[in-house]
């Protein structure tokens, strides 16, 4: 029974190996099959890849030398030792096609559609030629990596996959490159949002834009189609994402250069650099691995609005080191310091009093800066823009970019400062002020500004006068000038006072009209009677308005009517003026005096009569008092 089993094993093995042994001079097919079947059952699956050096130990020689006829007839039986030797040869020389293992094979044949690969298995494998599109130069004899995809198809053909093998090996290589921080080559395929797509070992990896170079990249397209070196910086195994960096390779080299450069830095040292970045406040310059900042004020002796007026990206510059911190991580550079200061080139002939022309470069609330020469500026203070003592903003006189003419007022070459004036180019209007604006003269002016105590009126450029709030109206009680007029309004004024030394004018507006209180003194004199309506009731009385100018106060006790009640708000009644003061514009009226007039007359007559009787009979003081008391009781309604 054992011999029969061995025969069947040898027979089965022969079926699988005869494709690889066409040159063997074997006996009839049935004899080979019986012999191979006897060895198949005892042949263990191959688990280990055969080394190429073992090809010389080929089992075909064993099969060729074997006497199959004698074995089949039982004349020359195969002992167990021979079978074990055969099994060993098969194990050592053939690849086990049951394992999904990447193995190396050799191209043995190329067709229009397929590639035949010898992986040293019991038969050759086939791979579609499409899997080698990336390698148009593939030829017979090339070594390639393959994965056993299908052990055998319906025709008994071994199906291999080069694409899957590349993928498996690529991930192994990528992982190894990441773990060991080794450098890999990659092909930049295309742009994508935020970076580039790079082919690394057949895997599409992401190259962020910030990892392309140490300096900002403005055109990604110049890298498309290039093969570059990278470091694998991140792998996401869950999503099969790979991130690579070219910048990491550059930084390693730059770090060494940076240490060398920083160690040699000295103030005043001139270095060559390349403009790396431009911002609104300055320019970053690459000094060969170390970045320094040229502040906008150190780019040019002249004022500029933006650094791009002076430099552009990637421009080579010579810069001087102005300062750096202790760690030399912040380096302050200068560009303008490499050229002479414009003040040094300013002609000695320029002196105080000279006229200069320049362009307005900066405007502030307090004045304007004028560039009179390249890099040489002078300040025109707002007080030097007009002869007016009422100061305004510099923007009321000039704008940025204006070409102006001015006079040099002061000059300090050591401090490099110059003050200019515009008003000095026109005559001082205060020179003949007493002739043009004598006290009592009438003029028209424009309201320019308010204060709590009055209004500034401009009579002409450089001549301002103040109208105190009390000189705005004869009759109106004004708490703030804005209640009476508006800025820009035209007002007629009279010159009240003139201070030539102090350059001050005191003006009045109400003086342009006749004082209505002069005529009101007669019209609303004490004792005059007028009909009016109570407009407002206050704690101590009421207010009545006789017209737009005259208002009167009625004390509470003078609101009493004849029936003993008070005149109420909105009620019309007759009032008598009991007090009138023109200087203080004070008018006091009474309604009670109207209906008490008769009693007042009686009292007056009694007093007059008593005086006459006293003159005639000279009565005693007690008699006079009795008579007066009687009259008083009558007025009070006593019986």
Write down the pLDDT at residue 91. 53
Higher pLDDT, 520 or 381: 381
Asked if residue 385 is part of any domain, the answer here is yes
My answer on whether 472 and 484 are in the same domain is: yes
Domain contains 172: no
Rounded CA separation 435/442 (Å): 13
Domain boundary among 133, 166, 199: 166
| H or E segment and range at residue 5 | helix 2-17
Number of domains forming the structure of the chain: 8
pLDDT at 45 over 60: no
Task: For residue 255, tell me if it sits in a domain.
Answer: no
The per-residue pLDDT for 67 is: 61
Encoded tokens for 302: 């002249």
Is 314 inside a domain boundary? yes
Closest CA to 281 of 269, 298, 259: 298
Does 404 reside within a domain? yes
Instruction: Judge whether residue 624 has pLDDT over 90.
Output: no
- 529 has which bridge partners? 576
Are 362 and 417 in contact by the 8 Å Cβ rule? The answer is no
Domain contains 287: yes
| 489-541 pLDDT, tens digit each | 999 999 999 888 888 889 999 888 887 777 777 788 888 888 888 888 888 89
Q: Are 7 and 87 members of one domain?
A: yes
Looking at the fold, whether 122 and 85 belong to one and the same domain comes out as: no
| Location of structure tokens 């650099």 | 273
Share of the chain above pLDDT 90, in %: 13
Q: Structure pTM?
A: 0.42
Q: Beta 331-334 vs 316-324: how paired, if at all?
A: antiparallel
Q: What residues pair up with 468 in beta bridges, in sequence order?
A: 454
Last residue of a domain, one of 93, 112, 135: 93
pLDDT higher for 126 or 62? 126
Q: What single DSSP character describes residue 479?
A: S
User: What is the structure's pLDDT at 47?
Assistant: 37
Judge contact between 387 and 461, C-beta under 8 A: yes
Residue 239, pLDDT score: 78
User: Could you tell me the residue range of the domain that residue 457 belongs to?
Assistant: 433-512
In this predicted structure, the answer to whether residue 80 has a pLDDT above a threshold of 70 is no
What is the band of 319 on the pLDDT scale with cuts at 50, 70, 90? very high
* Cα 589 to Cα 552: distance, rounded to the nearest angstrom: 6
Q: Is residue 260 part of a domain?
A: no
Whether 348 is covered by a domain: the verdict is: no
Q: For Cα atoms 608, 613, 619, give the angle at the middle one, nearest 5 degrees.
A: 125
What is the CATH classification number for the domain harbouring 382? 2.40.50.140
If asked whether residues 407 and 419 sit together in one domain, one would say yes
The answer to whether residues 215 and 238 belong to one domain is: yes
Residues 47 and 110 in one domain: no
The residue among 457, 479, 512 that closes a domain is 512
**Token pair belonging to 567:** 């005149």
Same domain, 43 and 89: yes
- Where is pLDDT greater, at 607 or 443? 443
77 and 25 part of one domain = yes
Same structural domain, 450 and 387: no
18 has a pLDDT exceeding 60: no
Give the pLDDT band of residue 164 (cuts 50, 70, 90).
Answer: confident
Residue 87 and residue 115 share a domain: no
What pLDDT shows up at residue 109? 87
Number of other CB atoms surrounding residue 481 within 10 Å: 22
E strand segments, 226-311 = 227-236, 241-245, 270-278, 282-286, 291-295
């Amino acid at each position: 029974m054992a011999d029969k089993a061995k025969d069947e094993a040898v027979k089965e093995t022969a079926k699988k190996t005869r494709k690889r042994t066409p040159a063997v001079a074997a006996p009839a097919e049935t004899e080979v099959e019986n012999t191979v079947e006897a060895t198949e059952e005892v042949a263990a699956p191959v688990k280990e890849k055969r080394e190429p050096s073992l090809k010389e130990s080929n089992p075909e020689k064993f099969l060729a030398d074997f006497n199959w006829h004698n074995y089949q007839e039982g004349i020359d039986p195969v002992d167990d030792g021979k079978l074990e030797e055969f099994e060993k040869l098969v194990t050592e020389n053939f690849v086990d096609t049951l394992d999904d293992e990447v193995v190396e094979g050799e191209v043995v044949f190329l067709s229009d559609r397929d590639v035949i690969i010898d992986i040293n298995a019991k038969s050759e494998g086939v791979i579609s030629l499409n899997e080698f599109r990336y390698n148009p130069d593939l030829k017979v004899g090339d070594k390639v990596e393959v994965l056993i995809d299908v052990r055998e198809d319906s025709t008994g053909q071994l199906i291999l996959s080069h694409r899957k093998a590349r993928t498996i090996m690529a991930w192994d290589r990528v992982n190894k490159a990441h773990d060991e921080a080794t450098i890999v080559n990659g092909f930049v395929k295309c742009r994508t949002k935020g970076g580039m797509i790079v082919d690394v070992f057949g895997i599409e990896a992401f190259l962020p834009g910030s990892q392309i170079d140490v300096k900002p990249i403005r055109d990604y397209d110049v890298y498309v189609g290039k093969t570059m070196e990278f470091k694998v910086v991140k792998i996401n195994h869950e999503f099969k994402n790979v991130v690579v960096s070219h910048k990491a390779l550059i930084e390693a080299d730059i770090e060494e250069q940076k240490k060398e450069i920083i160690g040699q830095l000295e103030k005043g040292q001139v270095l060559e650099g390349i403009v790396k970045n431009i911002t609104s406040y300055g320019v970053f310059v690459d000094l060969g691995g170390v970045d320094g900042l040229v502040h906008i004020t150190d780019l040019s002796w002249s004022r500029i609005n933006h650094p791009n007026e002076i430099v552009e990206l990637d421009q080579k510059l010579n810069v001087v080191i102005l300062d750096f911190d202790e760690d030399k991580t912040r380096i302050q550079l200068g560009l303008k310091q490499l050229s002479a200061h414009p003040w040094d080139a300013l002609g000695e002939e320029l002196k105080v009093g000279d006229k200069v022309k320049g362009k307005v470069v900066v405007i502030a609330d307090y004045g304007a800066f004028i560039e009179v020469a390249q890099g040489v500026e002078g300040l025109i203070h707002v007080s030097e823009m007009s002869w007016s003592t009422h100061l305004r903003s510099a923007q009321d006189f000039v704008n940025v970019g204006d070409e102006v003419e001015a006079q040099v007022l002061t000059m300090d070459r050591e401090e490099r400062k110059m003050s200019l004036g515009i008003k000095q180019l026109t005559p001082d209007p205060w020179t003949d002020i007493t002739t043009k604006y004598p006290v009592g003269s009438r003029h028209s002016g424009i309201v320019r500004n308010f204060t709590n105590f009055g209004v500034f009126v401009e009579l002409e450029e450089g001549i301002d006068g103040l109208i105190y709030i009390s000189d705005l109206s004869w009759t109106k009680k004004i708490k703030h000038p804005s209640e009476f007029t508006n800025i820009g309004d035209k007002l007629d004024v009279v010159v009240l006072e003139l201070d030539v030394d102090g350059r001050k004018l005191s003006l009045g507006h109400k003086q342009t009209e006749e004082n209505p209180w002069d005529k009101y003194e007669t019209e609303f004199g004490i004792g005059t009677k007028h009909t009016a309506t109570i407009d407002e009731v206050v704690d101590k009385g009421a207010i009545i308005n006789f017209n737009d100018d005259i208002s009167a106060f009625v004390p509470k006790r003078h609101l009493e009517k004849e029936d003993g009640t008070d005149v109420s708000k909105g009620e019309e009644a007759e009032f008598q003026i009991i007090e009138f003061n023109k200087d203080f514009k004070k008018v006091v009226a009474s309604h009670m005096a109207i209906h008490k007039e008769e009693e007042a007359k009686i009292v007056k007559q009694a007093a007059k009569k008593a005086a006459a009787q006293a003159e005639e009979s000279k009565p005693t003081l007690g008699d006079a008092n009795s008579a007066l008391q009687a009259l008083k009781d009558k007025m009070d309604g006593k019986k």
